Amino acid sequence: MIRLGIPGLILSLWFLMAVTGPFLPLHPERIDLVNILTGPGLNEALGYDDLGRPVLDRLLLGASTSFFVAFWVVTISVVIGTFVGTFSAYIGGYVDQVVVRIIDIFLAFPGILLAIALSGIMGPGIENVVVALSIVGWVGFARLARAQTLSLKHREHVVAAVSLGTVQRKIIVRHLFPLISAPLIIEATFGIASVVIAEAGLSFLGLGVQPPDASWGSMIRDGARYMLVAPHMVLAPGIALMLVVLSVNLLGDRLRDWMDVKGRSVVKK
């Protein structure tokens, strides 16, 4: 069995914060003017920000932002990418050639740049972040699913199914998906890491969530202005972000070893 260890614990915490956050008695928008920029202390574990709001409460709210964006973007990307990639490779011919060209064109844009341009043009907001990151994200899964399908399409069990007259959809769902799922799951795991960074990056640039909602990225941006007097404002969300991404990457590595998928290079988007 795969060893979860500390990274597993951190990700469970992230998940718990995201799911229970809305029900906890948090006050991420409560302003305490006396305590503006006060550092961590007994009353408030992570101190206060530039408006006198408690950093810990905002950090928990930011956890749910990053979790839900990652969840939706990776889900949408995996579904669309797998669908497009598998069918394209299975059908072949002109359809496949067109799909390959489209994939090539999408890959010609540095991922984060396209996401920045898309969210900049569509306007800020969390839904637009999900759309922008999904538009960028599906391509990787499509390429992987296509390559995997190509290598499996002429295997004996598929040929046998074809000659038995099995319908195309059933061949893809029953005979191809189970075999291509392992590398896709691993890619999806690393995908979570890059989406978390990308969401925070967009929010850092002011293109993600809008105030008063919190994102670790926008917290870092706000904190950067007060770094000398209140370093906790930058350090807290940054460390949270790093721990989550590091844990996802570590678990991804372990998952890859466990599922024994041949070492592909991890490409950060």
Question: Which residues of the shown chain bind other proteins in the complex (CB under 8 A)?
Answer: 101-102, 104-105, 108-114, 116-118, 120-123, 193, 197, 200-201, 204-207, 217, 220-221, 223-224, 227-228, 231, 234-235, 237-238, 241-242, 245-246, 249-250, 253, 263, 265-269
Residue 178: count of CB within 10 angstroms of its CB: 9
Closer by beta carbon to other proteins, 26 or else 147: 147
CA torsion sign for 51, 53, 55, 60 is: negative
- Nearest residue (CB) to other proteins, 22 versus 231: 231
CA 263 to chain centre: 21
Residue 48 backbone dihedrals phi, psi, to 5 degrees: -120, 155
Backbone angles phi, psi at 24, to 5 degrees: -80, 155
Work out how close the CB of 153 gets to other proteins at its nearest, in angstroms, rounded to a whole number. Answer: 21
Write out the DSSP string of 92-132: -HHHHHHHHHHHHHHHTS-HHHHHHHHHHHH-SSHHHHHHH
Q: How far is the CB of 250 from other proteins (least distance, A)?
A: 7
How far apart are the C-alpha atoms of 40 and 67, rounded to whole Å?
Answer: 25
Please report how close the Cβ of residue 155 comes to other proteins at its closest, in angstroms: 22
| Smaller CB separation from other proteins, 105 or 160 | 105
CB 195 → other proteins: shortest distance, Å?
Answer: 12
Q: Specify the residue, 146 or 221, whose C-beta has the smaller distance to other proteins.
A: 221
Instruction: Please state the closest distance from residue 113 (CB atom) to other proteins, in A.
Output: 4
Nearer to other proteins, 172 or 223 (CB): 223
Q: Give the Cα separation of 145 and 183 in Å (integer).
A: 9
Contact 65, 209 (CB under 8 A): yes
Round to whole Å and give the CA distance between 8 and 225.
Answer: 34
- Using the minimum distance from each CB to other proteins, give the nearer residue, 3 or 101: 101
For residue 26, the minimal CB distance to other proteins (Å) is: 23
